[in-house]
Amino acid sequence: MTWDARDSGAAAGGEFQSPALERLVRSLQGLPGLGRKSATRLALHLLDRRQDATELVEAMAEAAARVGHCSVCGAITEADPCVICSDPRREATQLCVVASPVDVLPFEKAAFYRGRYHVLGGLLSPLDGVRAEDLPFDRLLARIDEHAVSEVILALDTSVEGETTALYIQRLLSDRALNISRLATGIPVGGALAYTDEATLQRAFQHRTGLGEG
Ligand SMILES: [Zn+2]
């Protein structure tokens, strides 16, 4: 039997006569981009395909138990420190600062960068209430001092938030003797560093713009 959201009470804005199904819908409804209608459709789809649902539950439980953030760089990892932070062949004096853990992926796929990363986990955004104390700038400073970092490359989006964050880091590092640079243009505006192709990323890296010595 196939359930369909159109036949259900949910289509009319009502609730199912099943607390278990209502709980599932409410859980899914909390996910990004899912309203009540999409959550209902997804819940019914999962009930139709119990095998998929079981696999999903197991995958989520395993990921929740094993996946975390690297305590050094903030990247997504199962081991702590992550493989990049614990690889002696990766240059510890060169740090690429990115906003999100997914921004590390195109660099690693392109495989030209031999330094390490610092993942901020967000960008400064006064409008959204993201302030400097909400991001790990203290950890960035500690790494810079501990490993005598000589170059910081800002690989941040060219959005208002990216610009604000870049400027903040530039000021933060102004009394330290290191080179600060930004990726050259060619990275799409407003987000999409993670979706930039390898050639564009490498070109933007090679032509990175020096912001002067701190
Ligand atoms: Zn790491």
Quote the CA–CA distance of 155 and 92 in Å, as a whole number: 17
Q: How far is the CA of 16 from the centre of ligand 1 (A)?
A: 46
Would you say residue 127 lies in a domain?
yes
Would you say residue 51 lies in a domain?
yes
Quote the CA–CA distance of 78 and 63 in Å, as a whole number: 9
Element (DSSP H or E) covering residue 205: helix 198-206
Q: How far is the CA of 90 from the centre of ligand 1 (A)?
A: 11
Q: How far is the CA of 84 from the centre of ligand 1 (A)?
A: 6
Region 44-67: mean pLDDT is: 94
Q: How far is the CA of 87 from the centre of ligand 1 (A)?
A: 10
Q: How far is the CA of 28 from the centre of ligand 1 (A)?
A: 31
Quote the CA–CA distance of 171 and 147 in Å, as a whole number: 20
Q: In what order do the strands lie in the sheet with 151-155?
A: 115-119, 91-98, 151-155, 179-182, 209-213
Q: Residue 173 belongs to what domain range?
A: 76-213
**Domain count of the fold of the chain:** 2
192-201 LR contacts (CB < 8 Å, sep 24+): 192/157, 193/98, 193/99, 193/103, 193/106, 193/155, 193/156, 193/157, 194/100, 194/102, 194/103, 194/105, 194/106, 195/106, 196/106, 197/106, 198/106, 198/109, 198/110, 201/106, 201/107, 201/110
Region 171-180: mean pLDDT is: 93
Q: How far is the CA of 101 from the centre of ligand 1 (A)?
A: 10
Closest listed residue to residue 104, CA positions, set 155, 59, 62: 155
Would you say residue 71 lies in a domain?
no
Quote the CA–CA distance of 72 and 79 in Å, as a whole number: 11
**Would you state the pLDDT for residue 170?**
94
CATH number of the domain that 13 lies in?
1.10.8.420
Place of tokens 């890296």: 205
CATH number of the domain that 114 lies in?
3.40.1360.10
Q: Answer whether residue 9 shows pLDDT above 70.
A: no
- On the question of a cis peptide bond just before residue 126, with omega within 30 degrees of 0, the verdict is no
Q: How far is the CA of 83 from the centre of ligand 1 (A)?
A: 7
Domain finish residue from 37, 66, 95 = 66
Question: pLDDT per residue over 26-36, tens digit each?
Answer: 999 989 999 99
Q: Are residues 95 and 174 in the same domain?
A: yes
Q: Answer whether residue 65 shows pLDDT above 60.
A: yes
What letter does residue 148 receive in the DSSP assignment?
Answer: T
Q: How far is the CA of 66 from the centre of ligand 1 (A)?
A: 15
Q: Answer whether residue 89 shows pLDDT above 50.
A: yes
Q: Answer whether residue 63 shows pLDDT above 80.
A: yes
Q: Are residues 37 and 127 in the same domain?
A: no
Q: Are residues 27 and 125 in the same domain?
A: no
Q: Are residues 54 and 90 in the same domain?
A: no
Amino acid (one-letter) located at 21? L
Q: Are residues 30 and 83 in the same domain?
A: no
Q: How far is the CA of 77 from the centre of ligand 1 (A)?
A: 8
Question: pLDDT per residue over 118-161, tens digit each?
Answer: 999 999 998 899 999 999 999 999 999 999 999 999 999 888 89
Q: Are residues 118 and 45 in the same domain?
A: no
Element (DSSP H or E) covering residue 40: helix 36-48
Residue 4: pLDDT band (50, 70, 90) is low
Q: Are residues 80 and 181 in the same domain?
A: yes
Q: Are residues 62 and 80 in the same domain?
A: no
Amino acid (one-letter) located at 172? L
Q: Model pTM?
A: 0.79
Q: How far is the CA of 174 from the centre of ligand 1 (A)?
A: 25
Q: How far is the CA of 81 from the centre of ligand 1 (A)?
A: 5
Q: Are residues 92 and 176 in the same domain?
A: yes
**Would you state the pLDDT for residue 14?**
81
Mean pLDDT, the chain, integer: 88
